[in-house]
Amino acid sequence: MRPGGVVGSTIVVVPSISFPVVELQKIAAVQSYEERMLFFLLLLADPAVRVVFVSSDAVDPATIDYYLRFVPDRDDARRRLELVSLGDPSIGSLSAKLLARPADLERLRGAVRAAGGDGGMLPFNVMGAEQDLADALGVPLYGPRPELTWLGSKSGSRQVAAEAGVPVLPGAGDVFSVPELAKAIAGLQERRPDAPAVVIKLNNGFSGQGNAIVELDGLADPLTESTTVFCAGEESWASFEAKVEEEGAIVEELVRSPALRSPSVQLQISPTGEVEVLSTHDQILGGPDNQVYLGCRFPARPEYRLAIQAEAGKVAEVLVARGVTGVFGIDFLVDGDRVTLSEINLRMGGTTHPFWMARLATGGTYDQASGELRLPDGGTRCYVATDNIKSLRLLGSHPADVIARIDESGLAYDPSTATGATLHLLGALRGAGKMGVTCIAATPEDADELYADVLTALDAV
């Protein structure tokens, strides 16, 4: 199955990150995150495929050339690629920008007509604007209908898990005020008197940036006077309370255990309801109490990767019954033999680009029985990936220079060995000194060593 389950010969990629602007502003260089979906250009290896790639601002030509190096005939692939940019780097939904600009919308319609064939539109996540845009273009939308996206909220995740029979941490969902938060925390304390702290998660927060940690030994009345750490440094009780009232939140016990792991499972559901398990990852976390997503390792550890796949399958059955389609991820917490669902993300995420780059570049397939990426020759591949290489030494760099540096270091992906580093998020270099990398190797140890070598080559240690 192709990424997103899309069928047909023309793929319209609209990497619209449709979240509130105040939340998007928490992510450095978030405007450039649209580039993470450039992995779709690797589908141009199939001479029957055409891709229309839309972006808020123009993608550097060197970056486009870089992705086309992964296809056999880059000249032919370029003829089947149409790039549409709005010249607008402002933070906000790409779909909403297009709908507000009739001339640009008509230009995109023309590009889709010129591409011909049948296919559909693939967004990063789906809100009302994405459905409206697909309708305006007259193409199918590959993703959950807007009315189903609530199932991927923090409260919706707990409800779906309960329906699927998958355990969650003690807590409560559908909380819409500070008094309700206080009541939920009191109830959790009563059930879990030894709990050290709770985490409050905004329903629509992402990458851990919508989380707040309340220490229970510092609990106060009113709650806003409690010892609290917000995972986003710019957040405060005043701003957080307004968001709780607007979008809702959940309260959960915060687990502090040296054995705690946070793996994820990535899946997709086709328009006909076929479920495909794509991958498992161990998430690399940082920030307060490891609440913030920084990167991932593939595959997840063998001692629990098949167990989380099985739990994810139960969740997928519920989502299929609700009519969900498209790519999504499920985060878990594993503490010894205890597996609990953390959240469902009904969208593409931080593990989407690394997995599809590794799978499409190597020609590998995911072996669900072992949880490994298996090559055509029977070998397997692992990787470590991040969107968060940040260095003042990279600030102002041109994508072409960074690409050349990795090439010259001998660390770049080599199709003859199916190992090496692939680069992404290169548009964030100039303004933020930030970029991403996926380091593909035969073993986890080799992937970690490759990652360290890439940091050294980039002078970003």
**Domain extents in the chain:** 3-143, 170-253, 259-345, 354-461
At the topology level, CATH places domain 354-461 in Alpha-Beta Plaits (3.30.70)
Residue range 146-173: mean pLDDT, rounded: 96
Q: What angle do CA 353, 354, 359 make, to 5 degrees?
A: 100
pLDDT at position 77: 97
Locate 101 and state its tokens: 């600009």
CA distance 357 to 440: 10
At residue 56 the predicted structure's pLDDT band, cuts being 50, 70 and 90, is: very high
> Minimal CA–CA distance to 311: which of 165, 160, 458?
165
| Mean predicted lDDT score pLDDT of the chain | 94
- With CA atoms as reference, report the closest residue to 263 among 383, 203, 351: 351
Asked whether this chain's domains 259-345 and 354-461 adopt the same fold, the reply is no
pLDDT (tens digit, 9 = 90+) per residue, 199-229? 999 998 877 788 999 999 989 999 999 999 9
Question: How many angstroms separate the CA atoms of 269 and 321, rounded?
Answer: 11
Could you give the percent of the chain with pLDDT greater than 90? 85
What percent of the chain is predicted at pLDDT more than 70?
Answer: 99
pTM for the whole structure? 0.93
CA 87 to chain centre: 24
Residue recorded with tokens 């968060």: 388
3 state DSSP class of 250: strand
Judge whether 422 and 69 are in contact, CB under 8 Å.
no
- Residue 461: pLDDT above 70? no
Contact 24, 17 (CB under 8 A): yes
State which CATH number among 3.30.413.10, 3.10.20.30, 3.40.50.2000, 3.30.470.20 fits the domain covering 259-345.
3.30.470.20
362 in Cβ contact with 351 (< 8 Å) = no
